[in-house]
A = this chain, B = another copy of it.
């Protein structure tokens, strides 16, 4: 074994350990944001929940803001991957729109949305946090829009289609918000049943 290969062998487990530790910190941060809110989240509490030393935590994420922004980004990427992976499972033709709305509703009623909501609201009155959160929010918004257009298989060059997709995403955000104070799933299902029908009819109308 050459010395170069030996170094590579030694490096891989170290990189893997770092990856696992970072993931543990980020997952503990989401748990903290969901359970205790932004105000109740602290780097000390997160390293305790994650079972990661304070030194290691500070090395990877020097401030609370670094930690919470990285955590929300991490979870968003996971969730997005889940939706995209399921792409081929959506029915073709009838029922597709309703199934896509369901997948996107899962997204806005998940811990991701709750944690992101805590961040958005805290960022409103915290300039430094806002500087990190505002671009992230724009990026998420664009990405979610792109996913919606792709899954719904609509043509945005037709006037009004873009606005209907945006309205659908804002409706979903509103449903996400309504769900944070208690289980809103029955009301949400009825609204999405109706909106799937209306959206299909409206898209045809604009076609």
Binding site for B on A (CB under 8 A): 35-40, 114, 117-118, 120-126, 130, 133-134, 137, 141, 160, 163-164, 166-167, 169-178, 180-182, 187, 190-191, 193-195, 197-198, 201-202, 205
Given contacts A166-B187, A194-B160, A194-B163, A182 and B39 within 8 Å (CB-CB): no
Write the chain B residue with the least CB distance to A33: B125
Residues of B within 8 A of A160 (CB): 194, 197
Do B167 and A170 touch across chains, with their CB atoms under 8 A apart?
Answer: no
Given contacts A166-B187, A174-B172, A195-B167, A181 and B125 within 8 Å (CB-CB): no
Copy number in the complex reads 2
Residues of B within 8 A of A190 (CB): 163, 166
Do A181 and B122 touch across chains, with their CB atoms under 8 A apart?
Answer: no
Given contacts A167-B191, A167-B194, A202-B202, A123 and B181 within 8 Å (CB-CB): yes
Q: What are 16 sample pairs from A and B whose C-beta atoms fall under 8 A apart? A: A36-B125, A37-B121, A38-B39, A39-B122, A117-B121, A117-B177, A118-B121, A120-B177, A134-B181, A134-B182, A137-B181, A163-B190, A163-B193, A163-B194, A167-B191, A173-B177
Point out the residue from B163, B191, B198 that lies within 8 Å of A202, measured CB to CB.
B198
Do A121 and B163 touch across chains, with their CB atoms under 8 A apart?
Answer: no
